[in-house]
Structure 1
Amino acid sequence: MPDLNHSTVTEFILTGFPGLHPEYQGLVSAILFLVYVLTLVGNVTILFLFATNHSLHKPMYYIILNLCTCDILFSTTTLPKIISKYWFNSGTISFNACFVQMYFVHYLGTMNSIILFLMALDRYVAICHPLSYSIVLKNSTIQILSITGWIIAKAAPLMLVIRAYPLPYCASNIINHCFCDHIGITTLACTDRALYGFPAFVFAMVVLLGSLACVMFSYCSIIVAVLKIANVQGRIKTLSTCSTQLIIISLYYLPRCFVYLASNVGIQFSADMRIVIIMLYSLFPPMINPLIYCLRAKDMRESLWKQFSRLIISQKTQVSSTN
């Protein structure tokens, strides 16, 4: 049994980007702050459009609603602390707060995979079983699946925290990352990490590869169904309904798969490069997703234009009344 006394470590230190020269810290923190603001503004805008436009109350947009919520929570969990490190030289995080952050990082990552699976399921039913779509995937069905996903996704990350929290942390307290995650924390434990690292690795593979397998099956089935359409224009139109989801799914899975494959074939990254890649695939999609919705989804684009038109008309009316 591991020693339950971890009093020798009361806080952790996040290094951020270890090799970053001090003269660039202000620039990096400004970029991270801009990413955070754009992520919040973009995703909150999507939530506002959904709340104010009944035309968006469709299964696909309920799924996007969940993705926006997940993106906001993940960015809020990870970015403020690393920004404060470079702005206020506050890189320390308390012992308990680090584990709370670790829990939400893995919880929201798991939920993200579930949401992407729901996206693929939506397109699979819509294209492969169009006559059953309105029966199988009603708004209530997506709501039930989403709530179930948010509940189920809690289990494994909670177990990771429960197993890692009592470990004896009696050596270094420096985490070479921008946020607390399971690997970063447990490598600092004064005990054999294999008993704790392997289950975490299995969990990561099940979540990542399991959801990816379901997504690939869905889109392989979609491609087969599309190839059966005789009309070329019909094929293009059908595939275009998947474009938004495919872009979002690619942004999520491709960088992660590249990192895992690269490590297995012997490609080594420096600590800075590894952290940069992780931050890019963790923070870039939440920022860019709202732009993809508005550019690719016709209903979303029309709703945004209506709100913009109303704002302009309202401003013109106010100016006329003051004159």
Structure 2
Amino acid sequence: MTLARPDLDPELRALLADMPFVPRLDPEVLAQIRPLASAPVDALLDGRAVARREVTITAPDGGQIPLSILRPAAATAATAPCVYWIHGGGMVMGDRYSQLDIPLEWLDLFGAVVVSVDYRLAPEVTGTTLVDDCYHGLLWTAEHAADLGIDPARLVVAGASAGGGLAAGVTLMARDRGTPAIAAQVLIGPMLDHRNRTVSSRQYSGEPGVWTREMNEFGWRSVLGDLAGADVPAYVSPALADDLSGLPTTYVDAGSAEVFRDEDVDFASRIWAAGGQAELHVWAGGFHGFDALYPRVPVSAAARRTRNDWLARVLHTTAQPHTNGRKG
């Protein structure tokens, strides 16, 4: 039996009708679509006065972690805010250029330095390797703040979809390890819960879509590997975290018509219950990734504008001399 679903935004519905869907996600299909999961970076940077630097760091296990560092070419501030960007792709595809237009907007608006991480993907790696890669890239960024012209009090961790889930895991890891200090986290339609058992998860099952329950199950099976039948770390599946206290101020958004809606609402609610600060937006009629796929549709433009306004307030606050850069 198909559950009733929230209506799609009319303009998004019309665009979605012409969008080719992946009928299923399995290893064979994944191999075919991986090369298509990212836009060429040169096209994203065309017309922007951006200085680009590529570095590769080595993880403790010897793995290679590429980082792209993007900053305004005409930067005048000695220290700028930094957005540490973690891309989406269900933890099985995408690269550091995926959804890069979102943090590039913050580079344009706030003069932010953007550091985008290329973590290793499942199923080639499993367990905590993905979140560990993201954490080590963040740690390198914080340790090189002076060289990068970054204000360490304005370090923001952000990500979309799987990247949002990894951002949440990295922020939990940084809290528990005591470093680095994170001023804020931005979680855009984050993939937070491997259990896949919410109402919204069941609503978006059984039909082709941008990201369905079945695709979500494949993504989580790929990343969990041998952990699937054991205790899953909260750093991997942040919805499992017993304690959400002590986190930096958090922005969470999602569409009303997507798999992740309910786990995202629950995560924000639990931050409030722990005494933390979170801002939550559920955009009526939005499907997963709507504002990245169709940024000019009014509901998408509203979502991006609202997110930008929130980040402007956070960066203004953390720039004040009385703050310590970590919001609780």
TM-score (structure 1 length as normaliser)? 0.30
TM-score (structure 2 length as normaliser)? 0.30
Bigger strand share: 2
Bigger helix share: 1
Q: Which one has more relative contact order, counting CA pairs under 8 Å at least 6 apart?
A: 1
